[in-house]
Amino acid sequence: MRLVMTRCVVNYDGRLQAHLPEALRLIMVKADGSVAIHADGGAYKPLNWMNPPNRLSENAKEGIWTVVNPKGETLTIHLLEVLSDTSYEMGRDPGLQKDGVEAHLQELLSADPTSIHQGLRLVRREFPTMIGPVDLMCRDVDGTAVAVEVKRRGEIDGVEQLSRYLEFLNRDPSLRPVRGVFVAQEIKPQAKVLAEDRQIQCVEVDFAELRGIESPNLRLF
């Protein structure tokens, strides 16, 4: 992990254009290649970021960082003043331990993937990728690989997580094309918008119904 505290100007050029004017910010560069630019606010969400795979080039003389991904999106960071530049070796992280509901939900869906989509069959739970395991790897009726990420509550960070898995899974010629399905009891509207933009299907499921308990919610279908 590299942490750079700097006064900087940032420009993003990709699916849209964005500009961060001069201000003091924290830049995080992770071992997986992700680059995130944070302000002293906004909770966990960065002001701008670039997910792996990407390439970071540093021009020390000009004080310019350029981050480019395979899609041609570019993040340009002008470092006007560097207050600190520190790196830490963090080692391998054991990963997030799912709470009881989320773990049970994954177990129920793996036992019957047709609860997600008709004709879906399980290949493996916790299917490994270079950046962590995707919850369920399945195949649909046409034999297409389907990566399923399961959350109790579906938010933007879950969609981002599945997007990163899909980037790596689609590099494997024995799997691609791999499509993504984001499953949760409730998916936030912002997460649905991002999922649609990333061509990821959203599916909301009823935990009580999956457990064989009649849901109190009335349904039209």
- CATH number for the domain spanning 105: value is 3.40.1350.10
> What pLDDT score does 214 carry?
46
- Say if CB 205 and CB 187 are below 8 A apart: no
Number of domains forming the structure of the chain: 2
- Kindly report whether the global pTM for this prediction surpasses the value 0.85: no
Task: Tell me the C-alpha distance between 109 and 91, whole Å.
Answer: 32
> Could you please report the per-residue DSSP string of 156-189?
HHHHHHHHHHHHHHTT-TTT-SEEEEEEEEEE-H
> What pLDDT score does 164 carry?
94
> What pLDDT score does 218 carry?
44
Q: Does residue 219 form part of some domain?
A: no
> What pLDDT score does 121 carry?
94
63 with 116, same domain?
Answer: no
Domain closes at, from 56, 87, 118: 87
> What pLDDT score does 95 carry?
64
pLDDT tens digits, 160-183: 999 999 999 999 999 989 999 999
> What pLDDT score does 42 carry?
76
143 with 42, same domain?
Answer: no
70 with 118, same domain?
Answer: no
* Containing structural domain, residue 9: 2-87
Task: Name the stretches of the chain with pLDDT < 50.
Answer: 214-216, 218-221
Q: Does residue 37 form part of some domain?
A: yes
